[in-house]
Structures are given as C-alpha cells and as structure tokens.
Structure 1
C-alpha cells in the first residue's frame, strides 16, 4: 500500500475549499473551451444530450467510487495508482501509476499546443500551436512553471485557487451572453443533427464525442491525489463531488448553447478554442478576444495543477517502491524535485515531437484520454473489490450494495470508453507502456523483489504484443499521429 509523506510539523494543510478548487482547476482547463467545435463535428443537440447523460452518469459513478474509497480505505494515500496496486498487484499498480503520469504529461503537452493555437488567432507565426515559434514559447513556459513549483506545493496550490476563480469568469460571461441571444428556432433545426452535416447513426454520433468527454472530466481525482495534504480525510470525497457537480453544469451549457446561435456546420467549423468563435457569434469580435484571454489564464492554471499532480503521483509511487527510489527525492520545500524534473523533461520531449504531427491538437487530446482510462478502470475495479468486503462495511452495511452498484457501473462505463476510443489508440498506448516497464524492472531490482507473477508476466507479454503491432502501424503508415 502506498504511503504518502506527512507534511512537516506546522505545515499548512489544504482546506476543503482549496481541495475543491484543485478539482475544479484540474478539470476546467483546455477541454471546456473546445467543446462546441468537437461536439459540432460529431452530433446535434439530441446526440449531445445522450452523450452527456452517458458521460455524466459514468463519471459520477467514478466520482462516487473515489469518495467511497477515500472513506473506506483511508490508509491508502495518493489514490489513483495505490488503489490499483492494493487490488491487482505490483505490476498493475505500476502500469496505473505510469499510465496516469504519462497521460498527465500528454495532457500538459496539449495545453501548450492550445496556447499556441489560441495565439495563432492573432499572431500567424504560432500557426496551429506546433510551429517553431510556438514550440519555443511552450518550452520556455514549461521551465518557468518548473521553477515556480520547486518553490513549494502549498504556494503553487494557492496560486491555482486564485487562477481557478479567474478563469471561470469568461466561461460564465459566455454562457450568459449565449443565453441572452439564444434562438430556439436555430436550436430546433439543429436538434436531430444539422441538415447540412453528413448523415450517420446516433450511435456513431455519440461514440465520436466520447474521448472529448473523458478529457474534460480528467482531474476528477485531483482531491484524491492530494489526500495527504487534506485537513480532514472526509474532505477528499466532498471536494470530489462538489467539483464534479459544478464543472458538469458548465460543460453541458457550453456544449448546447452554441446550437442556438449557428447551424451545426457552423459550430463544427469553429477554430479552436471554439468557445471563442461561439461567443463572437453572440456578441461580436470582442468575444473572441475575451475568451482567448480566458483560455490562456485557464490553461496556464490547469498546467500548474497537472504539473503538480504528475510529480506527486511519481513521488508517491517511488515512496511505495513502484517507481525507482530516485523519484522519491524532495527539496527543502517538500516538493518531489526529481519527479518534477522527469515530468518537465518528458513534457518538453513531447512538445518538440508535435512539430511532426499532422493534427497535434486532437491527437494529444485523444491520447491523454485513452492513457488515463486504464488507471480509471483499475480504480473502479478496486471499488468492486472493496464493496464486496464485509469488513470494510461492518459499521455501515446499508451502504455496501449501493457502492457495489456504483463501482460496477463505473467499470462498464470505462470499458465502453475503450471501445469508443478504438483499437488504434489502445495500440499507441501500448507503444508507450512497453518501454515504460523498464522503470518497473529498475525498481524491482532495487528491492531485490520478484519481477513478475505468472499473471503479471502474461499481462506484460500482452503489452509487448500490442506495442509491436502499434509500432508496425506507425512504421507502415497504418496509424498516423
């Protein structure tokens, strides 16, 4: 079981409000500003409603699993990967930690691509976010934030709380403006899918929205990851639910309201960040500027939160022996400095790689979503294991069946997300997981521990086969990033 490092005596703990802000700050980043365009390309309002019902239900169940595990297993810190290890063994715990860390790194790369794309609206030299200038600016930003975070986790979390408030304002303004000019006739014309859009089944429409819904919900576990800093353990579950409810309402509004301003084809053609174009359609050119500034503030704040989470996950995994012990090093401000250096270097490498990507924006978004699905699946699976345990519910037997149902629905939802993602992305994730296993081998040798059990060896072989197929697809052009 993972053991977090207790803060030093007298160190300030994170309050419920700050934990909730961490969840909201982690979830409201780049994704919410891109919802109109991504949904417009996939479906009309009816399909969007169905998609949000599926995504909202699935993620709510996952949020309830995090809440139940925080209450029933308070001995487990750092949440995401620690639950996987407790329920499914050392190698699956490592894959969960590595996958979550890697997905977070890819998400941070996406943030910098979006910053470049947003600036490209006004300065053509930034293009779609992966030109030489955009990459240079992104790399500078990565290392500026790196130095800020090294000054202390609590200080950075405080900055994130302020930024969270600041970045919600443009979203609220956009929602209110779109409500004021909302045209019910336009919405009704789009409701079943725009007449000027390619015809496809409702299932296909909903499936095409699934990865973006996963992306915008990533961060729901932010309070769980920072459980070791919470003033009270019960605040972890409360912050998770409060953050989920607040952000879901904003995301549904941002998705549906543009259909009352433009035909679906117009929504689909909006340049990212598409909320800027939607507000421009409602209020004029100043709307694009206003949202673009909001995007820059939002994404920079989200990057701060996710850089913290990346380092914290790797640090906690190293403390528990699931990553090489070098990543457990901390500086005098109690920041996991070695883990942060590794995170910043990997993010920088991926940023440079976007130069050769055909569609860096959507590719990084979708890869982030798929990479994070495995940790979520293992958390949901562990929720099933805990909910079946009589000992964990001896004091509250009436909650056991409820939590078991929630956990199974969460498992089914995440499996559906894998199917919706498609085999191509699953193979690409395997391409990254296979070499990542070298870190697991390193840590096991440091401990003199057995490398794999029989089941774990079979899982590793499956990862290798998937990586080989994925590498072949990349080499032959069957898979294009």
Structure 2
C-alpha cells in the first residue's frame, strides 16, 4: 500500500519529480559504465580468453543482454504494474514473498557495488600516493567515509538534483574512453590481433571454456541495465523507460566491445594479462606515453564517482518504492520532502559505512566484492525474465517475437547462474535469508500471514542453503 499522498498525474506518477528519457538513459549508462570498462582488457586476457574467443563471447553476451534489455522494455509496457520495477514484476508474477526477496537482492547488489567503487577510488589514488594503499587502509577508509556521507547529503537534496548531476558526470567520463577509441583505431595492428587468434599456441584450452570465463566478467560490466525500471514511477511517459533501457544498453555494449577488441590489437594477450588495473591506462600509455595513463586514471575516478552516484540513487529508490508498494516496512517509503526518501537514504548509507569498515579489517578486494554484487543480481534477472516469458506466452502483447526474446533472456539468466558457480549462489542465500526477516516484519506490520502455500518450501530452502553456506565459511569449505 502506497503512503504517498502527493498529487499525481493520470499515469499515477507523483508531480514534481518526473524524469525524461535523457535523465533515465543517464541513469542506465551511469550505472553500467563504471570501473568495468577501464579494466576490461586485463580482466578478459587474464580469463584467459584469446581474441577469437573474445569475438564469440561478445556475440553471445550481446545476444543475451539485448534479449534482457528487450525484456525490460517489454515489461515496461506490458506488465500489470508498469511502474513497479523489479519488485512489481516479481509480485505480479509470483507473489509477495518472492517479490520482497527480489527487491532485497537488488538492493544488496547495489550497495555491494558501491562498496567496490569506494575501495577502487582510493586504490586508484594509491597509484599516486602510497598512503591510500590498496583502498582498504585506514586513510582510505576515512576518505571513503567522507565521500559516502557527502553523496548522502547530495541525495538528501532530492532525487532530481542528483539525477541531473549524474547526466553531467556520465558525459564527462566518456571523454577519456572516446580518446582511447580514436587512438586505438589508429594504433590497431591486425597482426597483433591474429597472432594467436584461438589461444592454441598458448594452450589456453577449449574456446567454450574461454568464453565461459570471460562471461563472468561481463556480468559485472552490464549490471545496471535495469536501472531505468527502478525510476518508472518518476518517468514522464511510460515509453521512456523502455527507450532508455535499450539506448543505454546499445551505447554501453558498443563501448565495451570496441575497447576490448582494440586493446587486443595493440598488445598481445600475455601483455594485457600482465597490466595493472585500470589496464586501459597501460594500453593507452603503450601508444602515446605517460599522459595517456594519467588521462585514463582521471577518467576512472570520474567514472567510478558517477557510477557511485547512480547506484546510490538506485539503492534509495529500491527501498522506498518497494516500501510504498507494501514489500518492505512502510517507514522506508516515507518522503518528508517530495522525491527524498530520507530513511531509505540513511539506511543505505549506514549499511555501507559498516561494510566499509569491514572491508578495512577483511582486506576485501575489489574483484571479490564485484563478483558477489553480480551474483545477487542473477535471481532478480531470472525472475523478471520468467514473468515476461509467461506474459508473452499468454498473449500479453508482442506476439511470437516477444516469446522469442523473453525465452532467450530466461535461458541467458539461467546460464549466468551456472557461470557464477555454486559458491556465490550459496553466499547469496545468506543475504536472502536476512531478506526473509524483512519480509516477516513487513507482513506482520500489515497484519497478514507471513508465508503462503509454496512460499513455505521456498523459505525453507533458502534457510537450508544459508546454513550450508555458514558451515562452509566456518570450516573453510566455502571459498568466495
């Protein structure tokens, strides 16, 4: 049940906080273009993946992610609640408990991504000033705290203000990437690209294994493709959400493929694998000298800063919109000022603060955190795809074409679960078990039964998996 009593337009969106297609596209691009594109050359090469496997892997990823983007566009037009986002899709397709878990998993993924960004920001500064180290020193933790609460202050000014800043930052951070693309086209050497096209000289193994390894990296690179759906309630027009999702996907895919393939034609795979992240800096430095590395490093800081803002926006809106829809405690949906879910913002910031201190003592690496963040998004992607496939199969619009791309999206989501591996799936169950507590709190607040029918079996399965994960962590049998 919504607690929002402000005047609404005929589409159900509250007045004064509506976003256009440009702002929504900025959210999508800002969410996806973070650190991944700056480290993609080394990550793919270290997979390992030879240039030929890159071509195959990007083709598979392009098809799968395009199907996922089209699925979100379809849901934005045809779902029973086009303004409900991932929570609304799961609720209408599978009921209240799975819906709350989907929103919860999405929120966990978002703030884990923010944690990775904070660590990476100060790790990058550590390349120039040793005091910041790998991004987890006390100085870095204190710096991260200042950044974290500074962004919280920006968000407390209003979602529209922060969205406008995100559009500006998104444009600014693309400049170093465009410089690399221009230089890369001129420096690209076909002989370097084809010297060991399929990795046979290095004995990298079957192409299938190489493709599977690189796809684990692309999961993180494309997180945020659903970003515009979170702000569906604030969109000026229903169609803007779908257009922003597809436009953002097309732009990011083009940039990722171009950067990866051009780098593979400038340095050989072993040379790329030995680079320090942000590896794009090393590639550009090999062509133009030291200034290229500095440019990319500055671009990375701007990019990660913008992505951090985008994901903070998503975190707050995930909690607030879910609470207003009755999926989380109602206090998280309250807005003392229009467009400012204060408690959702403060809760996210507080959780991130604790996680930041934990990262200092744990020495958590950027790569480990992003894999966990990606793992938490796989279930929301699968549930959304299944709901879309059911709608399309029942004649919900789009005809046979909709059945095809929602079917491909579902298969691709299952493939990502397989690629992620059992360890991360078990760790995800620990977070989802905490989500069950949030669900129980909400249902009791509403005076409704906590679980219904098959939800009991699902909850039991999550608790068992979480227990398995806990035992594995304590005994050392589970490594993540």
Asked whether the two chains share a fold, i.e. TM above 0.5, the reply is: yes
CA contact (8 A) 1:45 1:191 kept: yes
Matched, 1:374 2:385: no
CA contact (8 A) 2:81 2:89 kept: no
Matched, 1:360 2:359: no
**Could you tell me how far apart the structure 2 residues matched to 1:7 and 1:48 are?**
51
Instruction: After TM superposition, give the deviation of residue 73 of structure 1 in Å.
Output: 2.7
Matched, 1:36 2:41: yes
Specify every segment of 5 or more residues in structure 1 that has no aligned partner in the other structure, as ranges. 394-398
Q: Deviations over 1:384-409 (max 9, x none)?
A: 1211233x33xxxxx22111111111
CA contact (8 A) 1:270 1:277 kept: yes
Instruction: After TM superposition, give the deviation of residue 5 of structure 1 in Å.
Output: 7.6
Q: Deviations over 1:99-136 (max 9, x none)?
A: 00000010111111111221121112222222222222
CA contact (8 A) 1:24 1:243 kept: yes
TM-score of the superposed pair, with normalisation by structure 2: 0.95
TM-score of the superposed pair, with normalisation by structure 1: 0.95
Q: Deviations over 1:365-391 (max 9, x none)?
A: 11111100111111101101211233x
Q: Cα gap change, 1:26/1:194 in structure 2, threshold over 3 Å: closer, same or farther?
A: farther
Aligned residues: 474
Query: Which residue of structure 1 aligns with residue 108 of structure 2?
Result: 102
**Could you tell me how far apart the structure 1 residues matched to 2:196 and 2:145 are?**
41
Residues 169-178 or 17-26, more deviating = 17-26
SS across alignment from 1:231: coil
CA contact (8 A) 1:4 1:316 kept: no
Q: Cα gap change, 1:190/1:256 in structure 2, threshold over 3 Å: closer, same or farther?
A: farther
**Could you tell me how far apart the structure 2 residues matched to 1:436 and 1:5 are?**
27
CA contact (8 A) 1:316 1:328 kept: yes
Q: Deviations over 1:62-106 (max 9, x none)?
A: 111111111113733241121011101111101100000000010
SS across alignment from 2:144: helix
**Once superposed, what is the RMSD of the aligned Cα atoms?**
1.8
Query: Which residue of structure 1 aligns with residue 186 of structure 2?
Result: 180
Residues 186-195 or 363-372, more deviating = 186-195
Matched, 1:242 2:247: yes
Matching residue within 331, 337, 344 for 1:339: 344
Query: Which residue of structure 1 aligns with residue 467 of structure 2?
Result: 468
SS across alignment from 2:195: helix
Q: Deviations over 1:199-257 (max 9, x none)?
A: 32222211212222111111111211111121111111111111111110000011111
SS across alignment from 2:82: coil
Instruction: After TM superposition, give the deviation of residue 358 of structure 1 in Å.
Output: 5.6
**Could you tell me how far apart the structure 2 residues matched to 1:129 and 1:36 are?**
21
Instruction: After TM superposition, give the deviation of residue 272 of structure 1 in Å.
Output: 1.4
Matching residue within 170, 177, 186 for 1:171: 177
**Could you tell me how far apart the structure 2 residues matched to 1:407 and 1:4 are?**
33
**Could you tell me how far apart the structure 2 residues matched to 1:161 and 1:45 are?**
34
CA contact (8 A) 2:81 2:88 kept: no
**Could you tell me how far apart the structure 1 residues matched to 2:192 and 2:316 are?**
46
Query: Which residue of structure 1 aligns with residue 146 of structure 2?
Result: 140
